[in-house]
Structure 1
Amino acid sequence: MQLPFIKAVTNQKNIFQLILASAIVGIMAALLGIGLKHITEHYEALLFRRATGNRFWIVVFPVTGLALIYILRHYLFKKKENKGIKEVFESNTSGKPLPSYKIPSHFINGLITVAFGGSTGIEVSTVVATAAVGSLASQKESFLKKYRRYLLCAGVAAGITALFNAPLAGILFTYEVIYKKFNRLFALSTVTAAAVAFGFTIVLDEAPVFNAAITQWHLRALPWFILLGILGGLQSVYLTKSVLFFKKQFLKFSNPYYKIITGGLVISCILLLLPQLYGEGYHAIKHSIMEANTTKLSVYFTVTILALLILKPIITSITLSAGGDGGVFAPGIFLGAFLGLFLAVVLNTFFNAGVIPLNFMIVGMAAVLSASIHAPLTALFLVCGLTNSYVLFIPLAVTSFIAMNTAKKIYPYTVYSYGAKK
């Protein structure tokens, strides 16, 4: 008669252990994610100012960054390559732990890549590093081994939360992209870790990434938001195929030094033309947000935006293919922002649409990001976290789902899901 009672007590103890372990993982992942974000922002801004003051450094920095990553990988990390988010997929599928060296390797390599001008972001570096934090926690105590997948997910959820001040985005990204299943233990681990990480962002007074004064949107703009969703899906397919194409081409280099030099020089040439593509590119988005609603269509504006939309996927692809560490989060946000701005200005100029360009920049971010990672709920809540505003919730939701479905119909894979099948 006591067996059911004993079983219930044991289950409660197990759940408490999982919650406690998830909270600890949330603390560690939040510190790692917030630390990486601020260190990267500091050195990216520092080196970018140096590069814009003297264009010679634009030629030097990308090659230097790729060379440093290769040296560290070759000597410090014993020639163990980082495979990006594919490592998290493999660990989640097999149940095997992520090695602990993934924490410093992705932290350092992500920082170097972006700070030295590599045109990607630190999001994937953070995801893998914080997933490794969760995986490492499951190895410290024998009773936690059975929760390895859940603690890995807890690390991912906390990492995304820390980067974007968006706990729902962290949980939903883990569900939509990593785990793809939902049960009570998954909910307990990810919600606990994301809540703890979000608490850290509040205590540390982390500001939204983009300071955008969003006040309203008009229902008459909804058809144009739908068009933005379709265009965002097309742009994301171009990004995905560019990454896959250039990775295949760079695999043909038998000499790693040739790969580094070639990749670095191509990146430098593009940055000389478009310094807006340096690093994450958030500096260019912030500048455009301030001037979005007063932007007028001109030849210079048109050529610049089209060049950004065409060359950003190429420079991102080369950064990753030549050895840089990162993913398509930041590139998707960047492309969506400028796609949305361009569409709004064109609509107002030729169709007298009366749309708000700033709104289209924000919604465009979600459109391209959603289509790039096939995660519309993640994109929706992540962009709300980026701006600390839910005013555009409806157009964000509509556009995110339309963009994802447009991209899926054209090409069924993302950079992450294609790699996971290899």
Structure 2
Amino acid sequence: MKTTAQIKKNYQLIKLQKLVIVSLLIGFLSALLGISLKKMTEYYEEIFFHQATVNPFFYILFPVFGLSVIYFLRQYLFKKKENKGIKEIFESTNSKTKNLPSYKIPSHTINGLLTVIFGGSTGIEVSTVVATATIGSVAQQKENIFRQYKTELICAGIAAGITALFSSPIAGILFALEVISRKVTRAFVISNLIAVSIAFGLLTLLKEAPLFSVTITTWHLRAIPYFILLGILAGINSVYLTKCVLFFKSQFAKISTHYYKIIIGSIILSISLFIFPQLYGEGYHAIKGIMNANNEIPLTFTLGFTFLSILLLKPIVTSITLVSGGDGGVFAPSLFIGAFLGLLFALLLNTFFDSQIIPVNFMVIGMAAVLSASIHAPFTAIFLVCGLTNNYTLFFPILAACLISKYTAKMIYPNTVYTFVPSI
């Protein structure tokens, strides 16, 4: 009996050791992929966007070129397979036999990069999530001992990827938990903690700075009603974003010739970018611009109309980008919408009600609130946005706004773009 117990103990120890080793490897590779993709996207997006601002003709050329290249890559390099985004991960984790094929790593990485740098109005976050999930999926296929940890290892890759993009290990783990796994096991805790630790360690070694450099020093209790109202508005805007994506997806599905989708999508995208360059790519350049100038912006009719137009148009051009063949998701668009919504809301209150509120605070809270409602993951949104700004001063206002926005969105429409299942 003692011998049997000892054998079982040794076997469990071996399993734990192997789990630790594979989690280290997944964390390193996923973080390396996430950081590399982020750096390449930032570098080339800045170059191409600058060229387009100098010569607006590129607003017409870039979208059709980028979507066309992605189409030909899918046709001739990636086995004519469409990228389904995070739904691919759900299909894998919900099945014992279905795994994410290894070509998803280069497919999502390359297509995500091309989509954004050539003006596609989305972000690389979902591309990174699927690519890093595939790293975890491939790793669990290498040994039979890992098969029972399939979901945990996929989540480890995702958590490390999110950490690499947003400099927040907590957001990485919470996203893997809230959106993908939805349950905590011992293996989940071990593998994900190791993976995000490696990712964050790599970020520290590389001295990665926060994406948004903002100064947030305080917030006032008298602003609580405004935070609540912003949460409600964020929930409504997130439903608009979700509905746009689902509507255009259903409409473009009726077009049988894929190149017609590219042409139609490119025309809409080009016109939109020509009128509102803020919609180019991830839009982080526009967020940084208004963050740096928010205290100096007087609200005029022209500015208010511009902001409102951007809020209405962003979900449409994001949807068009995705249904035309672009690779991406709703992470970056949600942050973009939230920043512009928060600033417009604050300027309206200050201009017409002399509220004397701090615009940058509402931008940051708006980013988190719209993201929370778009993916139904409030705690991910909280730590992700706090990680983006490297500041936790607004933790409690963000918490309130994120919970309110999520439940507002769920009351209006229960699905996200990840959970919606079309009726047959």
Counterpart for residue 117 of structure 1: 119
Counterpart for residue 8 of structure 1: 9
Q: Please point out which of 364, 372, 381 is paired with 2:366.
A: 364
Q: Please point out which of 241, 244, 260 is paired with 1:242.
A: 244
The CA deviation string for residues 73-106 of structure 1, in whole angstroms up to 9 with x for no partner, is 0001121111111100101110322100000000
Counterpart for residue 193 of structure 1: 195
Counterpart for residue 156 of structure 2: 154
In 2, Cα distance between the equivalents of 1:414 and 1:320? Answer: 15
| 1:78 maps to 2:41 | no
One-letter identity of the residue aligned with 1:43: Y
SS at match of 1:416: coil
In 2, Cα distance between the equivalents of 1:248 and 1:106? Answer: 22
One-letter identity of the residue aligned with 1:289: M
Counterpart for residue 19 of structure 1: 20
Matches within 5 A, 1:54-93: 54-93=55-94
Moved over 3 A (4+): 419-422
Q: Is residue 208–residue 387 contact of structure 1 (8 Å, CA) maintained in 2?
A: yes
Matches within 5 A, 1:280-295: 280-295=282-297
SS at match of 1:390: coil
SS at match of 2:219: coil
The CA deviation string for residues 306-359 of structure 1, in whole angstroms up to 9 with x for no partner, is 011000000000000100000000000000000000001111111111110000
Q: Is residue 66–residue 113 contact of structure 1 (8 Å, CA) maintained in 2?
A: yes
In 1, Cα distance between the equivalents of 2:421 and 2:159? Answer: 21
Cα distance change of structure 1 residues 419 and 164 upon mapping to structure 2, 3 Å threshold: farther
Cα distance change of structure 1 residues 277 and 124 upon mapping to structure 2, 3 Å threshold: same
Q: Give the deviation of 1:419 after TM superposition.
A: 4.7
One-letter identity of the residue aligned with 2:21: L
The CA deviation string for residues 238-273 of structure 1, in whole angstroms up to 9 with x for no partner, is 000000000111111111111111101110000111
Q: Give the deviation of 1:416 after TM superposition.
A: 0.6
Q: Tell me whether 6-15 or 342-351 shows the greater mean CA deviation.
A: 6-15
Counterpart for residue 129 of structure 1: 131
In 2, Cα distance between the equivalents of 1:420 and 1:181? Answer: 26
The CA deviation string for residues 23-65 of structure 1, in whole angstroms up to 9 with x for no partner, is 1100000000000001011111110000010010100000111
Q: Is residue 34–residue 163 contact of structure 1 (8 Å, CA) maintained in 2?
A: yes
Q: Give the deviation of 1:19 after TM superposition.
A: 1.6
Q: Give the deviation of 1:146 after TM superposition.
A: 2.5
Counterpart for residue 178 of structure 2: 176
What RMSD, in angstroms, separates the aligned Cα atoms of the two structures? 1.1
One-letter identity of the residue aligned with 2:190: L
Q: Is residue 86–residue 419 contact of structure 1 (8 Å, CA) maintained in 2?
A: no
Q: Give the deviation of 1:420 after TM superposition.
A: 9.0
Q: Tell me whether 291-300 or 97-106 shows the greater mean CA deviation.
A: 291-300
In 1, Cα distance between the equivalents of 2:102 and 2:91? Answer: 15
Q: What TM-score comes out, normalization by structure 1 length?
A: 0.98
Q: Which runs of 5 or more structure 2 residues have no equivalent in the other structure?
A: none
One-letter identity of the residue aligned with 2:45: E
Q: What TM-score comes out, normalization by structure 2 length?
A: 0.98
In 1, Cα distance between the equivalents of 2:94 and 2:257? Answer: 33
Q: Give the deviation of 1:421 after TM superposition.
A: 8.7
Q: Which runs of 5 or more structure 1 residues have no equivalent in the other structure?
A: none
SS at match of 1:415: coil
In 1, Cα distance between the equivalents of 2:422 and 2:224? Answer: 36
One-letter identity of the residue aligned with 1:361: M
One-letter identity of the residue aligned with 1:345: L
In 2, Cα distance between the equivalents of 1:337 and 1:29? Answer: 28
The CA deviation string for residues 361-401 of structure 1, in whole angstroms up to 9 with x for no partner, is 00000000000000000000000000000010000111000
